[in-house]
């Protein structure tokens, strides 16, 4: 997509927090929204990546700040939201993107990984919502965009815990929408196979082999960034509730 065709009306000047902005979908979304004139507040654990991304955005004339943020720490997520308020005075959009997908069959009992997925993929999303909701209530507007997955709609072998976390994210997005009192928009984004570093978080060799076949079909991260930009750019009375996007050749 030619970025010149982006409808920037609903993106310009919006203050957007993105978790997991140091690679993949978070990074691509930051770049795309920056081109639309959004003011970005970026979090992740790898500071060198965040700094390089902020520098690139600023060199292009955009506005971006970052804070090292582990989403398993409620305090750190609160501090990221505070940075947005201190720097830009408001919070328009939170993109709850940070996530990981270690994947393994239940029989392998990789309980530590189950806990890690619950902590990052579910509790991280809840901490994000907790950090921005009071500000969005005060503003009487705001938008929370959660990264679920095709795995939040169907269950794959060896992916039951990952799928459970993404089903949970979908439920949280819908619950937030229902409780929004017409003030807060809630969008669930469900991508299929996208070419990012995510598959590198798979720890089980046999599982990785199967998933790698699916990921030969993977499409570019900017496809998801465009979907997120579409949700952000809508007028305030339009809430894009759910977007599912797969590579055309992905069956399940
Ligand atoms: N790629 C795909 O095919 C799909 C991805 N998704 C979802 O999209 C989201 C982004 O994944 P994707 O871009 O693909 O994968 P990447 O591995 O490229 O990016 C994941 C991001 O999450 C961050 N992250 C991981 N753990 C933590 C943590 N504890 N605290 C803060 N940040 C963390 C990483 O940053 P750092 O290590 O610097 O902290 C990184 O920036 C995930 O929620 C994933 O489940 C959904 C469907 C398909
Ligand atoms: O989240 C991962 C994408 S898929 O494997 O469920 O399509």
Question: How many whole angstroms from 27 Cα to the centroid of ligand 1?
Answer: 10
Interatomic CA distance for residues 90 and 178, integer angstroms: 23
The minimum-distance atom of ligand 2 relative to the CA of 215 is: 5
Cβ-contact 159, 103 below 8 angstroms: yes
Cα 144 to chain centroid, rounded: 10
Interatomic CA distance for residues 220 and 92, integer angstroms: 26
- Percentage helix, strand, coil, to 5, in the chain? 50, 15, 35
The residues pairing with 126 across neighbouring beta strands, listed in sequence order, are none
Q: Is the dihedral of CA 198, 48, 59, 95 positive or negative?
A: positive
| Kind and range of the H or E run holding 10 | none
Question: How many whole angstroms from 87 Cα to the centroid of ligand 2?
Answer: 35
Band of residue 239 on the pLDDT scale cut at 50, 70, 90: very high
Could you give the count of Cα atoms lying within 13 Å of 130 in the half-sphere of its Cβ?
A: 15
Q: What is the pTM of this model?
A: 0.97
- Is 50 exceeded by the pLDDT of residue 2? no
pLDDT at residue 1 in the model:
39
The minimum-distance atom of ligand 2 relative to the CA of 154 is: 6
Please give the class, per CATH, of domain 3-245.
alpha beta
Active site residue 162: yes
Ligand 2, pocket-test mutation among 150, 152, 210, most atoms within 8 A of CB: 150
* Nearest ligand for residue 99 CA: 1
For the stretch 191-206, pLDDT in tens is 999 999 999 999 999 9
For the stretch 156-205, pLDDT in tens is 999 999 999 999 999 999 999 999 999 999 999 999 999 999 999 999 99
**Residue in 123, 97, 104 with CA at minimum distance from that of residue 44:** 97
- Is 50 exceeded by the pLDDT of residue 75? yes
Ligand 1, pocket-test mutation among 71, 96, 98, most atoms within 8 A of CB: 98
Q: Report whether residue 192 contacts ligand 2, using a CB cutoff of 6 Å.
A: yes
- Residue in the structure block whose two tokens are 């039951």: 160
**Interface predicted TM-score of the whole assembly (ipTM), two decimals:** 0.99
Band of residue 4 on the pLDDT scale cut at 50, 70, 90: very low
């Amino acid at each position: 997509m030619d970025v010149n065709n982006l409808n920037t009306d609903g993106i310009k000047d919006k203050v957007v927090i993105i978790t997991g902005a140091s690679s993949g979908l978070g990074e691509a979304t930051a770049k795309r929204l920056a081109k639309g004139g959004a003011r970005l507040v970026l979090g992740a654990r790898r500071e060198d990546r965040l700094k390089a991304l902020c520098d690139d955005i600023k060199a292009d004339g955009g506005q971006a700040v970052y804070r090292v943020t582990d989403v398993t720490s409620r305090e750190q997520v609160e501090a990221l939201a505070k940075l947005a308020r201190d720097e830009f005075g408001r919070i328009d959009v939170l993109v709850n993107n940070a996530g990981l997908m270690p994947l393994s069959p239940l029989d392998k009992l990789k309980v530590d990984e189950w806990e890690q997925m619950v902590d990052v993929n579910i509790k991280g999303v809840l901490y994000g919502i907790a950090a921005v909701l009071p500000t969005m209530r005060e503003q009487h507007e705001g938008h929370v965009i959660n990264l679920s997955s095709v795995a939040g709609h169907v269950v794959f072998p060896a992916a039951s815990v990952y799928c459970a976390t993404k089903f949970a994210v979908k439920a949280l997005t819908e619950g937030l929408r229902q409780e929004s009192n017409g003030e807060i928009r809630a969008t669930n984004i469900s991508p299929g196979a996208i070419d990012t570093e995510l598959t590198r978080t798979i720890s089980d060799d046999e599982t990785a082999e199967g998933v790698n076949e699916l990921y030969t079909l993977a499409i570019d991260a900017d496809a998801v960034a465009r979907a997120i930009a579409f949700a952000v750019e809508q007028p305030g009375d339009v809430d894009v509730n759910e977007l599912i996007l797969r590579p055309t050749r992905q069956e399940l």
